[in-house]
Structure 1
Amino acid sequence: MQRYYLSIDIGGTTLKSARIDHSGNITATDQLPTPRRVADFLAALAQLIHTSQGVHAICVSVPGIVNPRSGKVEFTGALGFMGEFNLAEYVRQLTGLPVYVGNDANCATLAEMWLGNLTTVDNGAVVTLGTSVGGGLMINGQLFAGPHFRAGEISAIVNNHDHLDPHEATVGASTSAVKMIAAVATACGLPDSRDGRRAFVEINRHNPAAWGIFTAFCRRVAVLLVNVQAVVDLERILIGGGISAQPVVVSEIRHQFKLLQESDRRLQDDIVMPDIQAAKFGNEANLLGALYGLLLQLEEK
């Protein structure tokens, strides 16, 4: 008999759910706006859960620091109002079903390990470009979370030692795809600073007002990848996030990586350029990865 699972992706603006079979086939989806108060958030989560009947277990992808063993989450970003909360225990008490909770970037990495573009390598990473920068690491064929469950928090890397504001000195602040899109929109006089599709029209036609902003952004991403390579020496790094659907993004990041190596003999001698590709999964990545995390957890038991 085919088993079905409920996978939930908790985002800053949307709560998404999907009914998925054991092979990763999505058979139904639902979504709700993400509330901004604890009681409303838990009520919306319960609503998504109760509308999906006949599932074997539940898995959740969430922004924050997650202990996957206990299911306790230290919520971050737009969901910081939730504080520290044992999400797995809450869902278990609500349903009586097995529950897995994982960090969103780690779930995206698990999806690529299971059915995506990390299936043929042993050491890789997913770097997601959005409002901030997310990351997940696969070492020796296993997701690497670290002893404090914070491995892959590459947005916290300091890349501007001289900046007076510690937050603005981090990768998360300086390498925001959302900020890049807004800067392109302003420079090109576009009406909507959040319209990434329109911004990429200008980028793809090499509009000088857009191209310089875009290439500077890709150089910052390439610097990040160089730094990651210097520490873990990966075979493949996947670029995720909405902008990764634009072929020019991965192409220009590769180009900027090569330029960095050409500029310094040490970067040529000490750093091997990884295979840089776009991640396979877009909006479904966290949903699929949460399920794979659940299946691995059930297998261990």
Structure 2
Amino acid sequence: MDNEGQLLEKGKRPSADNLDDFVAALYEIGDQYKGKFTGIAVYAPGKIFRQYCLDVAVMILNLQTVINGEKVVIGGGISAQEILIEEIRRQFGEILQDNPILGQQVIPPEIVAAKFRNDTNLYGALFALLQGMQK
């Protein structure tokens, strides 16, 4: 079993906060990528990355079965990597394809990166501040 498989076997799962650190450590690419989420585009095709995207796709599916939204917007620094958005879309499609009943019942939402990417949270905080000042 390779290093990625061993990490996943142990139940270790990367999160949006540490996926870049997982990849940097796994491929021994050094600290220049740690905390920056830029190494993913080069080293992403691994099992850990695919598992992470599958986990996100399952979360989107869970939400979609309840709220039936038209669009899912992924924000933050993680959304800057187009490969991530593409893989989440692919994984979501595979879930529906592999489960015919789900495929017939669930309308896939459009999965996109937030317009303001990593600054999305800042705009949200500013909006909340401005709303609070109006009261």
Distance 1:175 1:229, change over 3 A: farther
Q: Structure 1, residues 12-42: CA drift from partner, whole Å, max 9, x if none?
A: xxxxxxxxxxxxxxxxxxxxxxxxxxxxxxx
Q: TM-score, normalization: structure 1?
A: 0.37
CA contact (8 A) 1:218 1:252 kept: yes
Unaligned runs of 5+ in 2: 1-10
Residue 234 of structure 1 corresponds to 69
Cα distance per residue 1:203-223 (max 9 Å; x no partner): 2xx4xxxx2221111011101
Counterpart for residue 263 of structure 1: 98
Answer 1 or 2: which has greater helix percent. Answer: 2
The 3-state SS of whatever aligns with 1:284 is helix
Aligned to 1:187: 26
Instruction: Identify unmatched segments of 5+ residues in structure 1.
Output: 1-167
Find the partner of 2:17 among 178, 181, 184: 178
Residues 194 and 275 (structure 1), Cα distance of their counterparts in 2 relative to 1, 3 Å cut: same
Report % sequence identity: 37
Matched, 1:223 2:58: yes
2: CA distance, partners of 1:278 / 1:214: 17
**Contact 1:240–1:279 (CA<8 Å) still a contact in 2?**
yes
The structural deviation recorded for 1:293 is: 3.1
Does the 8 Å CA contact 2:79/2:118 hold for their aligned counterparts?
no
Which residue is equivalent to 1:201?
42
Measure the CA separation in 2 of the matches of 1:297 and 1:212.
Answer: 44
Note the alpha carbon deviations across 1:66-90, whole angstroms, 9 max, x for none: xxxxxxxxxxxxxxxxxxxxxxxxx
Cα offset, 1:183, TM superposition? 2.4
| Separation (CA, whole Å) in 2 of partners of 1:259 and 1:281 | 28
**Partner Cα distance (2:28, 2:14) in 1:** 22
Give the Cα separation in 2 of the matches to 1:288 and 1:183. Answer: 29
Q: Determine whether 1:275 maps to 2:110.
A: yes
| Shift in Å, 1:271 | 1.3
Question: How many angstroms apart in 1 are the aligned matches of 2:119 and 2:22?
Answer: 28
Distance in 2 between the 1:226 and 1:250 partners? 15
Q: Calculate the TM-score normalised by the size of structure 2.
A: 0.76
- Counterparts of 1:118-197 in structure 2, within 5 Å, are 174=13, 176-192=15-31, 194-195=34-35, 196-197=37-38
Measured at CA, do residues 291 and 259 of structure 1 come closer, stay the same or move farther in structure 2, by a change above 3 Å? Answer: same
Query: Quick one: distance in 2 between partners of 1:287 and 1:191?
Result: 30
Higher strand share: 1
Following TM superposition, by how much is the alpha carbon of 1:179 offset from its aligned partner in structure 2, in angstroms? Answer: 3.2
Q: 1:237 to 1:217 in 2, by over 3 A?
A: same
Give CA-to-partner distance per residue, 1:237-279, whole Å, 9 cap, x none: 1011212111111111000000000011221122111011001
Give the drift of 1:176: 0.6
* 3-state SS in 2 of match to 1:253: helix
